[in-house]
Amino acid sequence: MMVALPYFLIKFFEVSFNNLQLIEPLLKALHHEGYAKPTPIQEQGIPKILEGRDLLACAQTGTGKTAAFAIPILQLMHQQKQNASRQQNSGYAQRRRIRTLVLTPTRELAIQVEESLRTYGRYLDIKHLVVFGGVSQFNQVNALRRGVDILVATPGRLLDLINQRHVSLNEIKFFVLDEADRMLDMGFVHDVKRIISKLPAQKQTLFFSATIPTEIKQLANVLLQNPVKVEVSPGASTVDTIQQSLYFVEKQNKRLLLAHLLSDAAVQTALVFSKTKHGADRIARDLNRSNIMAEAIHGNKSQNERQRTLNNFKNKRTRILVATDIAARGIDIDALSHVINFDLPDIPETYVHRIGRTGRAGASGVAISFCDYEEKICLADIQKLINKKIPVVKDHPYDVALMHPQPQASQQSNFNKRRNAGGGKRYGRTFRQRA
């Protein structure tokens, strides 16, 4: 005879996060969000962080790395506060001082880290604040004065607040350096080193980077003490969960092809990548003229504009977001159905980062890439990196083969006939000039 288990017991046994020795308020928050199973980086990283170990993690956006450090830090801080209260350490218990610093390269990523802390820490008495440039510091300073446990910051604004003596890092117990390689790419390494020099020697450090170039390796060696190393490969495993396709199209027809593909209601949301800021604006304008709701996000937009655009996309008020690579850094959208490479990236690793924004944490997703004649070198580099040929979609309305159906051999044959008929003079000069 089968006995039905109560619903709460069924949910309890389904949750493998329970195996990571997390406290009940965190498990409750994870249940509330519908998270049942940790990603590989969470499964490997969370127990080591809870043991107090330094961590060197090689992982890109989309692997669940934010939760991998946010969840154990919230637990450790909660336990420290409880211990302090039992010891009647009123100075610790009553006045909040910054105990954790999370440093991120972009405003968008900083905001999303703070949102994650709010989500996972909803049942804990831990206060967090995000600070970044591009907006008035007035509200940020007032929040700091009221007391903060966890500070999430970008380097420039943090240094400004330190120099104005609004922020002290003297009591930091946990330091997270997120996306360290992007700090290097964006020229923030010197700022990061200045911030590190102001941190206490005794602290737990968590170091996250998608790649580990020489300068990042040197920085990690200085920062970390006997770290645990965790590596989650972004390569084939991530790429293989995504349905990739390639459209050969002439450059001037890309915008027409994009509007044609987005006219399909099956494309619920799409992140479209452009090489340039001007190009992103132009693509968004063209889509809106075709009655496809789209907005662009890039570095020339104000912080308020960027955040409004991102919120519209997250809340599905905007169906299509057009972005440059730098502006898209840190964008973390749940259930993003499509990524479209309007322009192929010059750096093949960027392709993997781009398409990894769909197919999050093992889910399926669709990545579409346009390729014109000038981008064929980029395509070859990308296919070499991912070690596979991207399937080509043929017979679409703007297919190069359809628009120029004459085979190359026939074109050359007709060219030779015309050249011979003209005595080889006019056509011969043109041929040499082209050569």
> Residue 359's pLDDT band (boundaries 50, 70, 90)?
low
- Which residue from 367, 388, 377, 343 is spatially nearest to 235, judged by alpha carbons? 388
Q: Is residue 99 part of a domain?
A: yes
C-alpha span between 206 and 62 (Å, rounded): 18
Question: Quick one: how many helices (H) and strands (E) in the chain?
Answer: 21, 13
Same domain assignment for residues 212 and 342: no
Share of the chain above pLDDT 90, in %: 51
Last residue within a domain, chosen from 194, 215, 231 = 231
Same domain assignment for residues 348 and 268: yes
* Whole-number pLDDT of residue 67: 93
Same domain assignment for residues 311 and 349: yes
Q: Is residue 148 part of a domain?
A: yes
* Whole-number pLDDT of residue 2: 37
Same domain assignment for residues 119 and 52: yes
Q: Decide if 225 contacts 198 (C-beta within 8 A).
A: no
* Whole-number pLDDT of residue 40: 86
Instruction: Give the count of beta carbons closer than 10 Å to the beta carbon of residue 103.
Output: 24
* Whole-number pLDDT of residue 292: 94
**Site of tokens 């349905």:** 243
Q: What is the DSSP code (8-state) at residue 100?
A: E
3 state DSSP class of 391: coil
User: And the tokens for 310?
Assistant: 């991102």
C-alpha span between 224 and 173 (Å, rounded): 14
Total of domains in the chain: 3
Same domain assignment for residues 15 and 154: yes
* Whole-number pLDDT of residue 89: 54
CB-count exposure of residue 322 (10 Å: 0-12, 13-18, 19+): buried
Same domain assignment for residues 175 and 65: yes
**Could you report the per-residue pLDDT of 279-326, keeping only the tens digit for each?**
999 999 999 999 999 999 987 887 778 888 888 988 888 999 999 887
User: And the tokens for 195?
Assistant: 């911030």
Q: What is the DSSP code (8-state) at residue 392?
A: B
Q: Is residue 220 part of a domain?
A: yes
Q: In this structure, what CATH number is given to the domain that contains residue 157?
A: 3.40.50.300
- What are φ and ψ of residue 175, in 5° steps? -125, 125
C-alpha span between 339 and 146 (Å, rounded): 42
C-alpha span between 22 and 265 (Å, rounded): 42
CB-count exposure of residue 340 (10 Å: 0-12, 13-18, 19+): buried
Q: Is residue 53 part of a domain?
A: yes
Last residue within a domain, chosen from 231, 254, 271 = 231
User: And the tokens for 429?
Assistant: 């000069």
Instruction: Give the count of beta carbons closer than 10 Å to the beta carbon of residue 158.
Output: 26
* Whole-number pLDDT of residue 145: 94
When comparing pLDDT for 214 and 431, which is higher?
214
C-alpha span between 63 and 76 (Å, rounded): 22
Same domain assignment for residues 339 and 360: yes
Instruction: Please report, for residues 142, 227, 308, 326, 403, the alpha-carbon distance to residue 136 in angstroms, rounded to integers and kept in the order given.
Output: 11, 38, 16, 23, 53
* Whole-number pLDDT of residue 285: 96
* Whole-number pLDDT of residue 62: 67
Q: Is residue 187 part of a domain?
A: yes
**Could you report the per-residue pLDDT of 315-355, keeping only the tens digit for each?**
888 999 999 887 676 566 666 889 999 999 988 878 887 88
Same domain assignment for residues 262 and 182: no
By mean pLDDT, which of 59-63, 67-71, 281-285 is the weakest? 59-63
* Whole-number pLDDT of residue 360: 61
Kindly tell me if the per-residue pLDDT of 46 is higher than 70.
Answer: yes
* Whole-number pLDDT of residue 334: 65
Same domain assignment for residues 39 and 81: yes
> Edge-to-edge strand order for the sheet containing 100-103?
128-131, 150-153, 100-103, 174-177, 204-209, 55-58, 228-231
Last residue within a domain, chosen from 214, 231, 248 = 231
When comparing pLDDT for 233 and 135, which is higher?
135
Q: Is residue 385 part of a domain?
A: yes
* Whole-number pLDDT of residue 310: 85
**Could you report the per-residue pLDDT of 148-170, keeping only the tens digit for each?**
999 999 999 999 999 999 999 99
Same domain assignment for residues 268 and 386: yes
- Which residue from 91, 203, 328, 49 is spatially nearest to 195, judged by alpha carbons? 203
Q: Is residue 316 part of a domain?
A: yes
Same domain assignment for residues 190 and 287: no
**Domain enclosing residue 419, as ranges:** 409-435
Q: Is residue 3 part of a domain?
A: no
**Could you report the per-residue pLDDT of 94-143, keeping only the tens digit for each?**
568 999 999 999 888 899 899 999 999 999 999 999 999 988 999 999 99
What is the dihedral angle through the alpha carbons of 240, 242, 248, 253, rounded to the nearest 10 degrees?
-160
Same domain assignment for residues 246 and 157: no
The model carries a pTM of: 0.64
CB-count exposure of residue 15 (10 Å: 0-12, 13-18, 19+): middle
